[in-house]
Chain A
Amino acid sequence: MTPRDRRTLIFGAGLIVALVLTAKGVPATVAWRRDKALESARASQLLAASSIDPRELRSARDSLAIRRSRLEAIDSVMPVAVSASAAVAQLASTLEDLADSCAVRVSAIQLRPDSVASSGLTEVSARLNAVADVAGLAAFVRAIAGSRAPLVVRELTVTAPEPAAPSSKAEALRFDVLVAGLSRTAAQGRP
C-alpha cells in the first residue's frame, strides 16, 4: 500500500466516521437540547410559583398577630361550653340572672336546641316569657345589650294587657324575647 493509498484510506474512514457521528449525534443532541429547554421552563415556573416576597410574608405575620390578639381579647369574655346544650343552659342561666337584677318576673324560658357552629363558635338562643313594667323591660333590654357576654335580642314582642288602666294601677307588660348568645365550645378549641 503506497502512502497515497494509506492517506486516502485514512481520510475516507475518517469521513465515514464523521458522517455517521453527524447523522446520529446531531438529532440526538437536538432532542436533548429540547428536553433541557422544557425542563428549564418547568423549573422556572416552579421557581416563580415558590418565590415569596419577604415583605409580604412579614406583613401577613404581623396581620395574623394583630388579629390573634384581638380574638384573644374577645375570647376572654366569651363563655366556654363543652357542647351546644351546655351553652344554651348557660345562656338561660345568664338571662335569669339579668331578669332578677332588673325586676323582671320570668314566666317561662324556652331553650332553643338548634344551634349553628362555625369557626369554633356556637350561636345558641333562648326564648323568655316574662312580665315587667316599662322600666324593668328597658333595664332588661339594656342589660342584655351591655352584658360582657355576647348576647343580642333577635325578637321582642310586648303586650300591654290594659293600656287604658289608671296610672294608680301597677303597670304589667307581658313580653316575649328571643335572645341569642355566642359561646365557644371547648372541643373546637381556639383557632
Chain B
Amino acid sequence: MSTHAGISITRDACSAVVVRAGRVRWCARVERDPGTPIAPAVARLLATAPRRHSRLRVAVSLGASYCQVKRITNIASTIRADVASRLVEQNAASFFLRSSRLVTTGVERAADGSAWSAALDGALVDDLVDALREAGLGSAVFLPEPLAIALVLPAGAHRIADGDVVAEFSTTSRRTFARFRRVRDDVSAAHTIADPPDDLPPALRSLGDGARHYAAAFGATTCPPNHPLTWRPPADPKRRRWFARLGVGAAAATFILSMIAVLVAPGIRASIDVASALRLAARHAAGRAEAARIETDLRRVTASLDRIDRFESGRGDLALLLAALARVLPDSTALLSLRVDTVEVSLSVLTPRAADAVSALASADNVVSPRIAGSVMRDASTRATLERATIRFRRRRR
C-alpha cells in the first residue's frame, strides 16, 4: 500500500499532508514571507514529517499566484495530445502571460473537446525541486492548485485566492475545467476557498476547522501521476550520468564474469561429477565386495558339483551294459571272457555263428560299432561245431 504526500505552496504559507489508505496520517502548515526563498520554508515544513516511506509519492500544488490554467484555442481536436503538448511547450509565450520562465504541462481534452493546459512558475519549481531533493524526496509531481481543488471539491463553480490573485473556475463532473478566469484582485483574505467546509471530503473534514488550509495538499495526493495537467521534472543530469556509468560498469562486469564462467564452468562441472562419481563408487563398494565373495563361492561350489556330476555320470553304466549283453546275445553263445574299460569292451565268445553274435550286439542301445577282432577259430572239441571269436565295440555313454 503506497503512501501519498501532498504539498501546497501559496504566497504566504506552505502546507503538507501524508495520506495512507485514504486517511490523513500527518499534516503541517508553516507561514512564509513571499519575498524569501522557498527552500527554508519547505525544510521547516518537512522537519516534523514522519519517517520517510520507501514508496512515498509526492505531489506539489502551486498556488494561483504561481500557475496559470488556460483553455488553448486553435488546436484541432485531431492533433495528438503529445504533439499538442510540445506545441504548447515550444510556444508558451503565445499562450500564457510570461513574466519569468514558465514550465508547461500537457494538454487535457475536456468532454466538450476543448483543450486545457497549465503553466507553472519555472523559478519556483526549480527551487522546490532542489528543496525536495535536499529533504530526500527525489521525484515529485507538480500541478496547479485549481486542479488540486477540482479533484477535492464536487463539480461546480469555485473561487480561490492567493495573495492578490484570484482564480475563478468551474469544473465538470469528470473533474475537467469548463471555465477558468484568473484576475488580480484586492482581497483581504489571503487564501480562501469559497465553498463551505461541508463540501470537503470526510478524510479532510476530520482535520477540523483548519481543513480548508489543507484542501490543495490533500487534492494533490489524489491527483493521478499521469494527469495531463501535471509536470514532472526531468531526471537529474548527474544522476542520469551516474546511472549510465553504472550501466556500463554492470555490462563490463557481466561480460568479464561471463568470460570467466565460460573458462571455469566446465572444470567446476567436472569437479562436481568427479565428487559425485567417487561418492557413488564408495557406496557401491560394499555391494561389489559381496558380489566378489558370492562369485568366488559360486565358482568353488560349481566346480565341486561339476566334479561330482562327472563322477556320477558313470555310475550304473556297467550294470546296464551287462544287462544288455545278457539280453541281446543268443542263448547258444557262451562268454569266455569279458573286458570292460571306460571306453571299449572286448569279449571272447564261443558261439555257433560269430556273425550272429555281432548282429545281435548291434541292436543293443549302449553298444557302438561291434566288430570281430582277429580271426574266428573253429572249435571242434565239442560235439557241435562252434566258433571262437573276439568281439570289440565301444560303449555309448549317457
> Do A and B actually bind?
yes
Does B302 reach chain A (CB closer than 8 Å)? yes
- Residues on the B chain within 8 Å of A46, using CB: 277-278, 281
- Residues on the A chain within 8 Å of B311, using CB: 123, 150, 152, 180, 182
- Residues on the A chain within 8 Å of B295, using CB: 60
- Residues on the A chain within 8 Å of B263, using CB: 26, 29-30, 33
Of A156, A164, A191, which one neighbours B350 at CB under 8 angstroms?
Answer: A164
Say whether chain B's binding surface is mostly helix, strand, loop, or mixed: helix
The interface-forming segment of B58-66, B79-87, B207-215, B334-342 is: B334-342
Of A43, A71, A154, which one neighbours B304 at CB under 8 angstroms?
Answer: A71
Interface string of A65-81 (1 = CB under 8 A from B): 00110110010000000
The interface-forming segment of B67-75, B226-234, B314-322 is: B314-322
B270 touches A39 (CB 8 A): yes
User: How many residues in B have their beta carbons less than 8 Å from beta carbons of A?
Assistant: 51
Does A155 reach chain B (CB closer than 8 Å)? yes
Interface string of B236-280 (1 = CB under 8 A from A): 000000000000000000000000000110111011011001101
A154 touches B301 (CB 8 A): no
Q: Give Cα distance in the complex from A57 to B300, angstroms.
A: 17
Q: List, sorted by A's number, 29 A–B pairs whose CB atoms are closer than 8 Å.
A: A32-B267, A36-B271, A40-B270, A40-B274, A43-B278, A46-B278, A52-B288, A57-B291, A57-B294, A60-B298, A64-B298, A67-B301, A70-B305, A74-B305, A74-B308, A121-B308, A138-B319, A152-B311, A154-B314, A154-B342, A156-B338, A158-B335, A159-B336, A159-B337, A163-B334, A180-B311, A182-B308, A191-B297, A191-B304
Which B residues are within 8 Å of any A CB, using their own CB?
Answer: 263-264, 266-268, 270-271, 273-274, 277-278, 280-281, 284-285, 287-288, 290-291, 294-295, 297-298, 300-305, 307-308, 311-312, 314-316, 318-319, 322, 334-342, 350, 381-382
Additional 4 contacts, C-beta under 8 A, given A43-B281, A141-B318 = A44-B273, A67-B301, A74-B308, A121-B308
Which A residues are within 8 Å of any B CB, using their own CB?
Answer: 26, 29-30, 32-33, 36-37, 39-40, 43-44, 46-47, 50-52, 54, 57, 60-61, 63-64, 67-68, 70-71, 74, 118-121, 123, 138, 141-142, 145-146, 150-160, 163-164, 180, 182, 191
